[in-house]
């Protein structure tokens, strides 16, 4: 009986040890997996501090929609009624073309590739958004701008003669017909269509070259690589208008749309050439014609406050220049 009691005690003790070991291992595994999953959500890229940190519930996360369509293609070209209604309301021309017919002519001509689908925990894509403010003059930002993976320039902002301050590389040029400019064969043309006629002009510029006027005279053609054309989706334009400018103004400015576009494709966003000079003047770095950042179409004040908040929340880095 004594031996039997000893064996029973030893068996129970062994079971207890096994249970403790199993439970401890389960806790460790659960804790590790939970921590790893949290870290993956917290840091979706390989940068030291990812601007698109989705691990916190805050203003940015409430506004930011990672699944919104960025670029237009044949598979997503059918617009929701609310998107089409808002976008069609931007048309300021007397003749409004048939959207469906125009889209059918777009994508046999231009590529439909997604260039930014490689996001992940191993990527750290740095991007420079280069505006046209006079505050770039004497900034010596050129090498810093060129060191980014992507260099996005807006409208007609030139580099020749200004390389020391604005850099010499251009990977993407943002434009629409009224701001079109020739570019080299290696640059992506990121086209912002504010009206259906803009899409017609884009087709014409690479084919018949018969459209030379919208609401103003525009070039009938441009030098650009047809295989590097990308077209911003009207859904994205409305999303920025509703989520980020809270429906202020008629539609977002080109600069603000560009900044929000870059926030969706880049891991580290560096902003140059936005805002006034230190003297409070608003003019381009390539001319001294004074410009207005507030007009009847754009809510410049609200956009500026939103950009400041993005900076304060460390979603972007703003370089303000010296002039």
Q: In what order do the strands lie in the sheet with 150-154?
A: 229-231, 188-191, 172-175, 150-154, 126-130, 268-272, 317-319
| Beta-strand relationship, 229-231 and 188-191 | parallel
DSSP one-letter code for 240? I
Beta bridge partners of 190: 174, 230
List alpha helices for 73-166, DSSP H.
Answer: 81-88, 99-106, 142-146, 163-166
CA of 187: how far to CAs of 10, 42, 115, 201, 225, in Å?
A: 76, 33, 13, 19, 7
Beta bridge partners of 45: none
DSSP one-letter code for 241? I
Q: Which residue numbers are catalytic? A: 251, 298
**CA 60 to CA 200: how far, in whole Å?**
35
- Cβ proximity of 176 and 192 under 8 Å: yes
**CA 78 to CA 309: how far, in whole Å?**
34
Q: φ, ψ for residue 43 (rounded to 5)?
A: -130, 85
CA-based nearest residue to 320, from 261, 278, 262, 263:
278
């Amino acid at each position: 009986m004594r031996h039997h009691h000893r064996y029973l005690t030893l068996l129970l003790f062994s079971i207890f040890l096994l249970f403790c070991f199993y439970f401890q291992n389960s806790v460790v595994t659960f804790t590790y997996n939970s921590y790893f999953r949290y870290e993956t959500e917290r840091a979706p890229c390989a940068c030291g501090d990812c601007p698109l940190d989705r691990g916190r519930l805050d203003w940015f996360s409430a506004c930011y929609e990672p699944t919104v369509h960025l670029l237009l293609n044949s598979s997503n070209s059918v617009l929701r009624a609310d998107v089409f209604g808002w976008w069609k309301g931007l048309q300021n021309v007397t003749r409004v073309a048939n959207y469906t017919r125009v889209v059918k002519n777009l994508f046999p001509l231009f590529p439909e590739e997604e260039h930014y689908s490689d996001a992940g925990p191993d990527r750290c894509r740095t991007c420079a958004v280069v505006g046209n403010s006079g505050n770039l003059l004497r900034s010596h930002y050129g090498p810093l701008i060129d060191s980014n993976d992507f260099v996005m320039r807006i409208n007609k902002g030139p580099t020749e003669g200004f390389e020391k301050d604005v850099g010499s590389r251009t990977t993407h040029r943002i434009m629409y017909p009224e701001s079109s400019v020739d570019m080299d064969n290696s640059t992506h043309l990121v086209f912002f269509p504010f009206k259906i006629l803009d899409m017609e002009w884009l087709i014409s510029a690479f084919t018949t070259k018969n459209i030379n006027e919208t609401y103003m005279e525009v070039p009938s053609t441009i030098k650009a690589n047809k295989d590097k054309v990308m077209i911003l989706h009207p859904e994205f334009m409305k999303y920025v208008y509703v989520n980020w400018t809270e429906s202020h103004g008629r539609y977002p400015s080109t600069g603000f749309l560009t900044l929000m576009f870059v926030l969706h494709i880049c891991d580290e966003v560096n902003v140059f050439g936005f805002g006034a000079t230190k003297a409070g003047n608003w003019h381009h770095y390539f001319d001294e014609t004074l410009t207005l950042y507030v007009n009847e179409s754009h809510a410049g004040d609200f956009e500026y406050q939103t950009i400041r908040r993005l900076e304060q929340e460390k979603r972007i880095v703003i370089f303000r220049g010296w002039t």
